[in-house]
Amino acid sequence: MLKLSSISRCFQGVIPSLIASADAHGLPNVTYVSQVYLLDEKHVALSQQFFNKTRRNLAENPHATAEITDPLTLQAYRLRLKFLRSEKSGPLFDTMKLRIQAIASHTGMDGVFRLIAADIFEVLRAEKVEGFLNETDVPNETVSPSGLRTEIRGLQLVSDRINRADDLETLLAATLDALDVYFGMSNTIVLLNDEPTQKLITIACRGYGGGVGAEVAIGEGLIGTAAHERQVLRISGLDECLRYGRAVRRSVMSDGSRVRPEIPLPGLHDAQSALILPLLIEDRLVGILAAESRDAMAFGEWDEAYLGVIANQIALGIDRVIEEDADAGRGFSPPPPTEGRAEATPYVVRARHTLTYFRDDDCVFLNDEYLVRNVPGRILWKLLGEWKRQGRTSFTNRELRMDRALGLPEVKDNLESRLILLKHRLREKCPDVQITPAGRGKFTLDIAAELDLLER
Amino acid sequence: MTTTTGHKLQQWMEGGVSVIVGTADADKVPTCCRAIAITTKDNFETVTVYVPAATGQETIANVATTRRVAIACTIPRSHGSIQIKGISRGVKLASPSDEELVRTRLQQWADALAELGMPRCITQRMTVWPAFAIDVSVEELFDQTPGPKAGQPLAC
């Protein structure tokens, strides 16, 4: 029999598979299934989302045939199947559930379509569908040993960069840069868990031209679902999956039922595949590492395992630099008001801006345009106030931590990630006001404009 | 079938639609294969489905034995889908006059998949000719679009 592992691409869900079943009288039924899951050389699984005709037929007659397709070559293969059992819990069920739950959540269909059971089949026979394609120009794909060596070398380099990073911003930038350079993952994003708000906040990204500060609610959409379940989510043929979800959505809406709006993808609008990994320290969710690609086959099992190793290191690295930052701040006192006075700064004033803090909305506007809000907004307002009143330009993380008015949590305050977010927002929206690191746990506020501060 | 219903269903007879065929042998063991075209000349009283000869032998053998046929037509972009259940009235090797229809359907299928990212050059490698033409008397029609209404009968 054909080895199922030799046609593993067919099981990634890029091209829907065909499944034929028959009832007790032999009346056939044929339909598509979004993915056939490869379990081992003799078993596959199908997801059961609705109690449909295929499901009723299998209860009467265990025989079925699936036709699966290689998404690169379009070669078809037939699997002669015998239904064994349905599983409604366990690791396989959880893995299949996550993918369906994420797509359902993304398309506003939570609870409408969900995994009812994982149906397990014995593969009696697997065969290539001879004559399906004209046997010309068949792509020949091989893995070169030098490629594997490059990947191992790449892993070493990524680990090295993570270990050497002194601060969170350097750690994340260096990691995403290495993933791009050594592994061609050019669209990556890291979100940190903000426990008090139950949101994930984008803290670093590559390949999107901005996006730092974007938020995802835990439990919503692809990223939010992976975070909530603390499981790796790998989706090939993402566009196909979303079209399936939208078909269900249209079907539900045709009755006049109201459904929640679809959640916009936070990254590429035309992504064909996604790999989303929770950054975990034991059971604690530190954040999410997500990679996207316009190639439907960009991420395989190997990428999942490999990026899993890197995700563990990132999680540990984030924890390390945050702890180090907190430790470094201890013992520092705020500098006296005379240190680093504003008039001593060498900048030439180029412009005049008005910054307004809105107390009710907890946000800061720059010249009538939204700049930043919540904790980063309060931090900015504190810094600007000290600068205006006392002429201070040097600050420490320690004094921010001790200022209860900022509302930082007592434990795991993510101060460094909030400062990164603030720095990015200033860099994008207000280059005349900058935050510059000045050694571990210290930074300066560099102002190159006249500022009017208003509070409403 | 009413003219209005037939008109609504006509979209599944057009190019760019995925057509798959299910049959079962005398031991009630089912199989499936991809078809390349489907037509109706009598408002869904009967349909003719074209199955590539290279890949359809098992299907044809089953049809000859049991006559029972299930056909699913799906629009790839929307996942809109119907299922036709019926009995075969006859199978023949498609005539040369059908070749243009079959080859046009392959082009349209390649166009539909190209919109979803599958290169045309890959899709066009599918073997479609010669083909068998299976004439089917339509007995039942079902909505098969994914969702809670999948499996509901359509007027027939």
Across the interface, whether the CB atoms of A29 and B70 are under 8 A apart is answered yes
Chain A residue with minimum CA distance to B123: A74
Interface of B with A in 36-95 (CB under 8 A): 52, 54-55, 66, 68-72, 74, 77-81, 83, 85
- Give the 3-state secondary structure of residue A332: coil
pLDDT in tens, A331-361: 444 444 444 444 444 445 468 899 999 988 8
Written as one letter, the residue type at A91 is: P
Whole-number pLDDT of residue A344: 43
Contact between A131 and B52 using a beta-carbon 8 Å cutoff: yes
- What was the pLDDT predicted at A215? 84
CB within 8 A of A152, min separation 6: which ones?
none
* Cβ–Cβ below 8 Å for B23 and A250: no
CA distances from B15 to A134, A362, B75, B107, B110 (A): 21, 56, 10, 8, 10
Q: Of A65, A82, A91, A74, nearest to A7 (Cα)?
A: A74
Chain B nearest-CA distance from A106, in A, is 16
Give the pLDDT mean for B99-114: 93
Find which of B38, B77, B120, B122 to mutate to test the A interface (most A CBs within 10 Å of its CB).
Answer: B122
Average pLDDT over residues B32-47: 94
Report angle CA A265, A267, A270 to the nearest 5 degrees.
75
- Rounded mean pLDDT of chain A? 83
Beta-carbon separation of B32 and A296 below 8 A: no
Which segments of chain A have a pLDDT < 70? 51, 136-152, 258-266, 325-350, 411-412
pTM: 0.71
Q: Is the CB of residue A398 less than 8 Å from the CB of residue A386?
A: no
User: Percent of chain B scored above 90 by pLDDT?
Assistant: 67
Min CA distance, B119 vs chain A (Å)?
9
Q: pLDDT of B74-103, one tens digit each? A: 998 888 899 999 999 999 999 999 999 999
Residue B124: both structure tokens together: 């066009």
Residue A67: its chain B contacts at CB < 8 A?
Answer: 32-34
**Beta carbons of A240 and B116 less than 8 Å apart:** yes
Q: Characterize the bridge pairing of strands B81-93 and B131-143.
A: antiparallel
* Cβ atoms within 10 Å of A130's Cβ, excluding its own: 12
Q: What percent of chain A has pLDDT over 90?
A: 28
Please report which residue ranges of A81-209 form alpha helices under DSSP H: 91-106, 145-164, 168-183
CB-based contact A326:A401 (threshold 8 Å): yes
